[in-house]
């Protein structure tokens, strides 16, 4: 009996114990699931839910044939997570042994580690070779917690310095620092997104949802032709070196569409190290170099005179044997002439003849033509830092301004403005806006600024400049070229100094223009006339263009063309 009772008591005690135990579990579960629901849910979310920032990749920039000029590649950036200064310094030393870092950087990084900064960049945007060298550090037990790598995009320019001024470059954080990278930055950079993910204990993603869809940067196709750009840059650099010039610029345009096939500015730079490049080198001389155009501007004078029919083309002008005074200023010609016909004023590039044509034309009509040819305002090409040029209205002109403006002084232009103006007779009298993107207009458009007959006559005069005038050194066997030379004093500190800007512009084939080309050489030493310095460069580039575009004379008089 007693044993039975004891057994019952034990059973009862055990039951109570289990009941309490079960109640405790139920209460704990209730507390976790109901009372502290939000706290525990937040903890779970923190462990399993994550929002990932998705970085957008900058668009690729290609030339007109799809050759890559700029592309973003994923790369690793190394950093130190600084929990223990002494250990971090030791790890940094090991890193330096594998991947040499400049002395200045070494000191700066060591200082930051000693200061106790928790996150210190070691080297950003490693190349593949560099990453392979230091990758084992992330797996090594001694260094793993201290050194780590982050994914970042690295902008790569596989063609080196090619078209550097057109492309520009980006900074360490992919911020645009010039060229097309800047002007089309809003399209190239795209927009980052956000991804909400659920991760398991092994940190593997098993569910995700885009909170914001990333928009990749748009690919840009330039109008530039890489092979032409290469030859143009080579030729420009050779001329600049030959004449120890301060620099130069060349623009090659498709005469019909205005698409820029090559745009070179010397000196060039490496876009991948744009932040190390001095500011004057970064300047794209083709659009930012302001200069007095000199005799190349006589093309605009001739256009205005022809359009306003101020004289016949055979009418002669008194050239005063090379010296002529307008008020208190003297105008001289390099070669003295007694009288020259209207055509020969331009063919022989007489300043005195041009001044007389200009004075007969009058300031209002001439100013109107200059404005219509696009001077005094940007061409609108989609590149940053394009200059307007300087063009004063007639009411600000002095008594000699009209005469001097007739041969290209008292006005400041950019090489691109000159190229666009030289393209007017090539495009049948239309001012075509230069374009740097391939997918723009493909045929003649723009505003008519010169009649068809005026355009034809101007083309004839410019052809004579090359065949029998100052531009003979631009001649290419078997190719008829229309052009004009220019040599202008350069303004330094507000005064015309003893240095010059030599230029030559033109288009070819003269009767069916396909290409307009403008060459400017800044401060050549020794020879400085446009006909001696810029014209031969024009010829050399024109020969390459002939080969590249397959431009050959119509019915040829010769069986072969030697280039």
Partner 1 sequence: MNVRKRSRSALRLAVLAFFIFLVLFIYSSLNLMNVDLGYRQHELLRTEAELRLEIDALRARRAGLLSLERTERIALQELGYQYPAAGQIIKVVEAVRER
Residue 520 to residue 528: CA distance in whole angstroms: 11
Q: Which two tokens stand for residue 109?
A: 């990084």
Nearer to partner 1, 195 or 310 (CB): 195
Q: Which of 229, 241, 233 is closest to 533 using CA atoms?
A: 241
Q: Extract the runs of DSSP E, i.e. beta strands, from 247-404.
A: 247-254, 260-266, 316-318, 323-326, 329-332, 339-341
Chain residues binding partner 1 by CB under 8 A are 60, 67-68, 71-74, 128, 156, 158-162, 197-198, 204-208, 226-227, 230, 234, 478, 543, 546-547, 552-553, 555-556, 558-563
Cis peptide before 267 (omega within 30 of 0): yes
Q: Least distance (Å) from partner 1 to the CB of residue 55?
A: 12
Nearer to partner 1, 362 or 553 (CB): 553
- C-alpha distances (whole Å) from 213 to each of 50, 150, 187, 208 are 16, 22, 16, 12
Nearer to partner 1, 271 or 408 (CB): 271
Dihedral, CA atoms, 359, 362, 363, 369, nearest 10 degrees?
Answer: -110
Q: Least distance (Å) from partner 1 to the CB of residue 535?
A: 14
Residue 266 to residue 237: CA distance in whole angstroms: 6
Q: Least distance (Å) from partner 1 to the CB of residue 234?
A: 8
Q: Which of 54, 44, 136, 120 is closest to 88 using CA atoms?
A: 120
Nearer to partner 1, 75 or 470 (CB): 75
Based on its alpha-carbon atoms, the radius of gyration of the chain, rounded to whole angstroms, reads 36
Q: Which two tokens stand for residue 6?
A: 């004891």
Nearer to partner 1, 371 or 478 (CB): 478
Nearer to partner 1, 138 or 237 (CB): 237
Residue 363 to residue 367: CA distance in whole angstroms: 6
Q: Which of 454, 439, 436 is closest to 369 using CA atoms?
A: 454
Nearer to partner 1, 27 or 206 (CB): 206
Nearer to partner 1, 230 or 430 (CB): 230
Give CA angle at 442 (517, 556), nearest 5°. Answer: 55
The crossing angle, in degrees rounded to 10, of helices 298-307 and 452-468 is 140
Q: Least distance (Å) from partner 1 to the CB of residue 93?
A: 31
Give CA angle at 131 (195, 119), nearest 5°. Answer: 60
Q: Least distance (Å) from partner 1 to the CB of residue 85?
A: 36
Q: Least distance (Å) from partner 1 to the CB of residue 12?
A: 32
Nearer to partner 1, 134 or 163 (CB): 163
Q: Least distance (Å) from partner 1 to the CB of residue 219?
A: 11
Q: How many CA atoms lie within 13 A of 510 on its CB side?
A: 24
Q: Which of 307, 284, 447, 299 is closest to 365 using CA atoms?
A: 307
Q: Least distance (Å) from partner 1 to the CB of residue 159?
A: 5
Q: Least distance (Å) from partner 1 to the CB of residue 74?
A: 5
Q: Least distance (Å) from partner 1 to the CB of residue 69?
A: 8
Residue 383 to residue 376: CA distance in whole angstroms: 17
Q: Which two tokens stand for residue 470?
A: 């100052």
Residue 410 to residue 390: CA distance in whole angstroms: 8
- What element of type H or E holds 199? strand 193-199
Nearer to partner 1, 106 or 124 (CB): 124
Nearer to partner 1, 230 or 337 (CB): 230
- What element of type H or E holds 154? strand 147-156
Nearer to partner 1, 68 or 400 (CB): 68
Q: Which two tokens stand for residue 248?
A: 């130069």
Q: Least distance (Å) from partner 1 to the CB of residue 555?
A: 6
Residue 134 to residue 126: CA distance in whole angstroms: 10
Nearer to partner 1, 15 or 74 (CB): 74
Strands 220-221 and 61-62: what pairing?
parallel
Q: Least distance (Å) from partner 1 to the CB of residue 81?
A: 25
Cis peptide before 509 (omega within 30 of 0): yes
Q: Least distance (Å) from partner 1 to the CB of residue 318?
A: 41
Residues 357 and 367 sit within 8 Å (Cβ to Cβ) = no
Q: Which of 375, 306, 290, 392 is closest to 346 using CA atoms?
A: 306
Question: Taking phi first (over 0 means left), then psi (-120 to 50 degrees means alpha), and beta for anything else, what does residue 308 get?
Answer: alpha
Q: Least distance (Å) from partner 1 to the CB of residue 472?
A: 15
Residue 430 to residue 211: CA distance in whole angstroms: 51
Nearer to partner 1, 170 or 402 (CB): 170
Residues 69 and 61 sit within 8 Å (Cβ to Cβ) = yes
């Amino acid at each position: 009996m007693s044993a039975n009772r004891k057994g019952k008591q034990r059973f009862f005690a055990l039951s109570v114990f289990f009941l309490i135990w079960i109640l405790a579990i139920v209460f704990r579960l209730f507390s976790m699931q109901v009372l502290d629901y939000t706290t525990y849910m937040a903890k779970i979310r923190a462990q399993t839910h994550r929002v990932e920032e998705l970085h957008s990749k900058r668009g690729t920039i290609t030339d007109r044939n799809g050759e890559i000029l700029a592309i973003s590649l994923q790369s690793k950036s190394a950093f130190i997570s600084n929990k223990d200064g002494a250990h971090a310094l030791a790890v940094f030393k090991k890193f330096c042994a594998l991947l040499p870092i400049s002395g200045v950087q070494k000191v700066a990084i060591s200082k930051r580690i000693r200061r106790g900064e928790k996150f210190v960049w070691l080297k950003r945007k490693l190349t593949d070779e560099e990453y392979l060298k230091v990758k084992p550090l992330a797996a090594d037990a001694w260094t793993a917690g201290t050194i780590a790598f982050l994914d970042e995009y690295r902008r790569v320019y596989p063609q080196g310095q090619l078209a550097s001024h057109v492309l520009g470059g980006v900074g360490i954080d992919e911020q645009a620092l010039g060229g097309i990278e800047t002007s089309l930055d809003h399209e190239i950079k795209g927009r980052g997104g956000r991804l909400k993910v659920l991760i398991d204990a092994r940190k593997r993603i098993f569910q995700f949802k885009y909170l914001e869809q990333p928009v990749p940067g748009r690919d840009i196709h330039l109008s530039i032709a890489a092979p032409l750009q290469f030859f143009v840059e080579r030729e420009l650099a050779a001329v600049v070196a030959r004449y120890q010039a301060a620099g130069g610029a060349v623009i090659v345009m498709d005469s019909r569409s205005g698409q820029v096939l090559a745009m070179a500015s010397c000196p060039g730079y490496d876009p991948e190290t744009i932040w190390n490049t001095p500011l004057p080198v970064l300047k794209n001389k083709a659009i930012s170099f302001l200069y007095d155009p000199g005799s190349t501007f006589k093309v605009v004078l001739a256009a205005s005179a022809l359009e306003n029919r101020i004289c016949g083309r055979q009418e002669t002008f008194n050239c005063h044997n090379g010296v002529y005074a307008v008020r208190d200023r003297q105008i001289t010609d390099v070669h003295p002439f007694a009288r020259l016909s209207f055509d020969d004023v331009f063919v022989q590039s007489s300043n005195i003849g041009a001044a007389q044509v200009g004075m007969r034309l009058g300031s209002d009509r001439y100013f109107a033509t200059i404005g219509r040819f696009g001077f005094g305002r940007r061409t609108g090409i989609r590149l940053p830092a394009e200059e307007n040029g300087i063009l004063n209205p007639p009411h600000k002109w002095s008594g000699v301004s009209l005469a001097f403006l007739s041969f290209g002084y008292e006005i400041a232009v950019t090489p691109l403005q000159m190229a666009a103006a030289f393209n007017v007779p090539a495009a049948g009298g239309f001012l075509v806006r230069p374009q740097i993107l391939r997918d723009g207009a493909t045929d003649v458009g723009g505003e008519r600024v010169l009649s068809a007959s005026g355009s034809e006559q101007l083309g004839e005069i410019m052809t004579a400049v090359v065949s029998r005038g100052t531009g003979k050194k631009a001649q290419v066997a078997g190719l008829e070229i229309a052009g004009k030379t220019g040599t202008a004093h350069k303004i330094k500190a507000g005064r015309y100094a003893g240095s010059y800007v030599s230029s030559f512009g033109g288009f070819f084939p003269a009767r069916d223009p396909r290409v307009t080309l403008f060459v400017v050489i800044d401060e050549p030493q020794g020879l400085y006339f446009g006909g001696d310095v810029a014209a031969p460069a024009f010829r050399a580039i024109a020969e390459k263009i002939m080969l590249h575009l397959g431009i050959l004379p119509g019915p040829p008089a010769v069986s072969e063309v030697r280039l």
